Structure 1
Amino acid sequence: MRNGNDTDRKERNIDTTLNALSARKEAPKIWFFVLLIIYIFTSVVINRLAHSNNIIRVGNQVLPFTAFAGVLSSLGNLSIISLVVVYRKKGFCTALIILLSQFPLLLIQMMRHHNIAILPGIFGNILTSFAVLMLYLYNVKIEKYQIRLRDQAVTDRLTGLPNRFACSELINDLVSRSEKFAVVSIDLNNFKSINDTMGHDMGNVVLTEIAKRWKAAADSRLSGTLDFITRQGGDEFAIIIRNYHSDEDIENTIRYYESVLENRLTINECDYFITASFGYAEYPTDAQNVDSLFSYADAAMYNVKRTNNSEHLTRFTPDLLNVEKTLEIERKIRTALEEDRIYFVLQPQYDISHKLRGFEALARMDDPDGGNISPVEFIPVAEKVGLIDKVDLRVLRKAADFFSRIIKKSDDDITLSVNVSVKHLMKNDFIDEIKDVINSFGIPGSQLEIEITESVMIDSAEKALQCINDIKSLGVKIAIDDFGTGYSSLSYLNKFPADLLKIDKSFIDKMNTSESSKQYVAAIISIGHIMDFEVISEGVEDDQQLEILRDIGCDFIQGYIWGRPLPQEEAELLVLGGSS
């Protein structure tokens, strides 16, 4: 590694990078000199006018040149006040020096020439000085508040590292200046096992210690490059690497951070040996926009984890994912959200005697280029690029608006069931979103059902259970979607406060030809009933499946046999008795 000198290390570390980002948003220096020149110019002209006996005729009016002194004086004062407002301390010091230096000159001039007309100018200078001082003191107070807000906006609360927002700010700045850099996506290996065995508090301590080491490494510049380390969330980090000459420099820097990480961590007399997976992409070689750059770096990192690469490091190459297809669908999702092309259809759910239970709202999307895009295509991409919460919420609000109007016209106690992704459920403001939907559209909580997949019980059981309990406190029902396809255990299921299990269509499809599939479905129904859950089977398409499910005690049916997904108008007719 190339060593930087001490002065360079102090000048180019994480904190100074953040400060530099803020500094670049300040007003251009050229306007400082423009305002200064305006003030000097008006002062010179006013001085000339004060000794001038010339006049100017405007119609029948005769105006002495000295009459324009007040106008120019106001313009000068405005420019000097603008210096303080826009350039803060530098502007204040400049303005104060100018005003205080003029004050004795005006006094001397008044006494020497016995010119009492200068007196308003002296008082004007005094008042302007007071105005400048008050503005500066107010600016100082505001600036302290802004610094505190900026620190909160760009700093990860747990580790003290810059956060995802700070990372995006730096990257946008570098892109705007066409500066070459690399983005490194980092994910700690098997970190979940620390949370599961030692608890989340200990996991947070480990994350904090890792962040402390990596920040010290970045500030030291011992890597030989200029590095900006950030925490993206959970056990995910990112490094922005600059001032390198080759791929070898980038990889040497990454290996430096890897070596810092792999030094044994000892916390509360427990030793931890942490490793991580690193993937990187370069701007502008690999991508020309921020979103693609992060997607590519993530793709490289996930490839390391998927292949269990002993090198723990790889660079993005196009063959790692179908980039073009993914980016095209992402573009269409973003356009559909902007142009309100996300909509829903409603698939009926019935009890075993064919009484309407309610509807599941299914997300659909118009292709901005014409036609429709299958949810099988756009839902996984929305999850991958972080847009699934927006899609979920758009469907939830639209479906709730429709459903609230229907239940006001009908006395039926029917339920609206809506899918929510795990990522959306884990958002801090998810409960507030549900409350807002209930309050905005007047839907009783008991007639709203949130569907989540069983994987949430493994991904983050503790937080998930807290969130689900909060949902239940609103009276909202919980359904476990696609049950049996994941890896949940009975121990999780036993403490999971759900109301309904949904059996995946893949098991229903095989019941007619596979006795083991039939027995598996029967076992799920039995377990659900033991745990006081109701059970619904998805994808029921023929009479034989229906009879089997009726015989083994399934509670509800959803599928083409009794109802395909319907547009709003047909769903309304179904509820109000127009069709069956």
Structure 2
Amino acid sequence: MINSTSPEFQRLKERLDISVAFSERYEKSLAICYLRITALPKQQKGETTGNLSDWFQSEVDSLIRNIDTLEKVNNTDFILILTDITENECEVVLSRIIGTLNKLELKPMQRVTFGANIGVCMFPYGSAQKGNLVQFAKKQMEEAVINNRAISMYRPNKNEDEIRQSIIRNDLPAALQNNQLSVVFQPQLQLNTKKIIGMEALIRWQHPALGKISPVEFIPYAEAKGLLDSLFQWVFEEICKKIEKLKNYNISINLSVNQLLSSGLELFITNMADKYEVDLSRITLEITEEIGLYSSNKVLKRIKNLKLLGIKLALDDFGKGYFSFADFINFPVDIVKLDKSFVTSLASNSHLKKAILPIIQMAHFLGFKVVVEGIEEYRQLIDWEELKCDIVQGFFISKPLTLDEFIVDISKIEHRVNGLL
């Protein structure tokens, strides 16, 4: 290791402390890489191992960012600190470094090849032990040498699920920046006309290493990291960009109560509507059932202001909490969306129809449309048609589709349903 009294050690320690502090403050991941040259090019007359090592350091310096740090340990070992980087991005950077150093010219017509092994410890999910990050990276480099691998990631004693959750938690902020998110649309079928009249917009994350990640996995982390506003704004703008292609279909977007209360929500929506010339009457915001918050004047005022913009409002997951129809008297909602538990309960106990029917009748009496999601079987579709539910969605109608798939498949879906009912 570097002599603890040397300027190099003090510089490395200072940069590592700064990088770790930045990582903790802004909840960004950090990569500590221990790089060892395992194959030096053949020395020419007048050259030394030190000369080649210095040249190697110069080349690597040219391949990294200004916010990154490269320190020489000795003629064969280097420590590289990559700030604000995900594990996948780190592997891309290191692969580029290795690939570049395998095809360089030290002098005109003199091609050189450096062989290298790199051990990596990610902070904080690889290890949160600040004082041991370099040691863990070095240990992993030695594993890479033994196993003849160019790059080896340090894995703590965690099971695969724990590692997966750590990666999701740390890589989520980068997903927005790196265009890893997308929107899909689940069709909504109006039962009395047997026509697709709208869709629910759902966010998806395609992680470069983990593949498809369900919102069920990453939304809790987004909420904990304060990213829900950013995710909503991204989804809303994506819808505004694409809504012209979706003819006259209505689009539902999920909105948490915290997002509903966030400052600037109305201004953001009006700005997006103006920018993309969107008719806001085609947008429905689905808000979850949390009676304690809905009783506040601030929430009611915000909801009324959104209604003045032309937006429709749906109460999502009705029946999951403690919201009753008595609470709707002063609550300007347009749609009641029944929780999936109604569908599963009815499927296992047909006698529940007698309990569910009055709920739907009361909603209709108050002027609300009733939507039920989670329709996965033909029998369920028949049951909810008999109950006079207005709109249904679920995998039996259609899985969530990309924009292009939605446009192409609408007539197919309607034709199939009409053949069944």
TM-score by length of structure 1 reads 0.43
1:464 match: 299
Residues 155-554 of structure 1 mapped to structure 2, 5 A cutoff: 176=18, 326-353=165-192, 354-407=194-247, 413-455=248-290, 458=293, 461-515=296-350, 517-554=352-389
> What's the offset of the Cα at 1:497?
0.6
Residues 450 and 477 in structure 1, CA contact (< 8 A), matched pair in contact too = yes
**Matched pairs, number:** 269
Q: Which 5+ residue runs of structure 2 have no aligned equivalent?
A: 1-16, 26-126, 131-160, 415-421
After superposition, what is the alpha-carbon deviation per residue over 1:25-81, rounded to whole angstroms, capped at 9, x for unaligned? xxxxxxxxxxxxxxxxxxxxxxxxxxxxxxxxxxxxxxxxxxxxxxxxxxxxxxxxx
The 1-side partners of 2:375 and 2:352 are apart by 14
Note the alpha carbon deviations across 1:319-360, whole angstroms, 9 max, x for none.
Answer: xxx986654322221121110111111000011131111111
Q: Which has the higher helix share?
A: 1
1:458 shift after superposition: 3.1
Query: How far apart, in 1, do the equivalents of 2:274 and 2:20 lie?
Result: 48
SS of the aligned residue for 2:310 comes to coil
Task: Tell me the distance in 1 between the aligned counterparts of 2:318 and 2:288.
Answer: 7
Aligned pair in 2 of structure 1 residues 438, 519: CA closer, same or farther (>3 Å)? farther
Mapped contact 1:335–1:368 kept (Cα < 8 A): no
2:181 and 2:205 in contact (8 A); partners too: yes
Q: Percent identity?
A: 31
Would the aligned equivalents of 2:398 and 2:413 in 1 still touch at CA under 8 Å?
A: no
Instruction: Evaluate the alpha carbon distance shift between residue 491 and residue 287 of structure 1 in structure 2; reply closer, same or farther with a 3 A threshold.
Output: farther
CA RMSD between the two structures: 3.2
Whether the 8 Å contact between 2:293 and 2:299 is mirrored in structure 1 is no
- Cα distance in 1 for partners of 2:163, 2:329 equals 44
In 1, Cα distance between the equivalents of 2:283 and 2:294?
Answer: 24
Q: Deviations over 1:447-473 (max 9, x none)?
A: 111111011653663222111111100
Kindly tell me: are residues 327 and 466 of structure 1, through their superposed partners in 2, closer, same or farther at Cα, counting changes over 3 Å?
farther
How far apart, in 2, do the equivalents of 1:323 and 1:384 lie?
17
Q: Which amino acid aligns with 1:514?
A: N
SS of corresponding position for 2:348: coil
Counterpart in the other structure of 2:13: none
Name the CA shift for 1:515/1:287 in 2 (closer, same or farther; >3 Å): farther
The alignment partner of 2:332 has SS state of: coil
Q: Which structure has greater strand proportion? A: 2
Pair 1:287–1:392, CA change in 2 (3 A)? farther
**Is 1:556 aligned to residue 391 of structure 2?**
yes
- How far apart are the structure 2 equivalents of 1:327 and 1:385? 13
Aligned mates of 2:184, 2:244 — CA distance in 1: 15
Take 1:521 and 1:342, find their aligned partners in 2: how far apart are those partners? 37
Q: Distance in 2 between matches of 1:554 and 1:535?
A: 6
Q: C-alpha distance in 2, partners of 1:554/1:385?
A: 38
Alpha-carbon spacing, 1:523–1:403, altered in 2? closer, same or farther (3 Å)? same
Deviation at 1:530, TM superposition (A): 2.1
State the SS of the aligned residue for 1:510.
Answer: helix
TM superposition shift of 1:375 = 1.1
- Can you list the C-alpha shifts for 1:140-187, whole angstroms capped at 9, x where unaligned? xxxxxxxxxxxxxxxxxxxxxxxxxxxxxxxxxxx75999xxx9xxxx
Is the partner of 2:347 in helix, strand or coil?
A: coil
Structure 2 counterpart of 1:533, one-letter code: F
Letter aligned with residue 399 of structure 1: I
Contact in 2 for aligned 1:528/1:534 (Cα 8 Å): yes
State the shift of 1:287 in Å: 7.6
SS in 2 for 1:501: strand
- Give the counterpart letter for 1:355 in structure 2: K
Alignment partner, residue 48 of structure 2 = none
Q: Distance in 2 between the 1:325 and 1:458 partners?
A: 34
Asked whether the 8 Å contact 1:326–1:381 carries over to 2, the reply is no
Structure with higher Rg: it is 1
Q: Could you tell me which residue of structure 2 aligns to residue 118 of structure 1?
A: none
Distance 1:341 1:481, change over 3 A: same
Q: Give the SS at the match of 2:203.
A: strand
TM-score normalised by the chain length of structure 2: 0.58
The answer to whether the Cα contact below 8 Å between 1:392 and 1:421 also exists between their aligned partners in 2 is no
CA distance in 2, matches of 1:523, 1:324: 48
**CA 1:388–1:516: 2 relative to 1, 3 Å:** farther
Instruction: Specify every segment of 5 or more residues in structure 1 that has no aligned partner in the other structure, as ranges.
Output: 1-174, 184-284, 289-321, 408-412
In 2 relative to 1, CA 360–177 (structure 1 residues): closer, same or farther, beyond 3 Å?
closer
Counterpart contact for 1:458–1:488, Cα < 8 Å: no
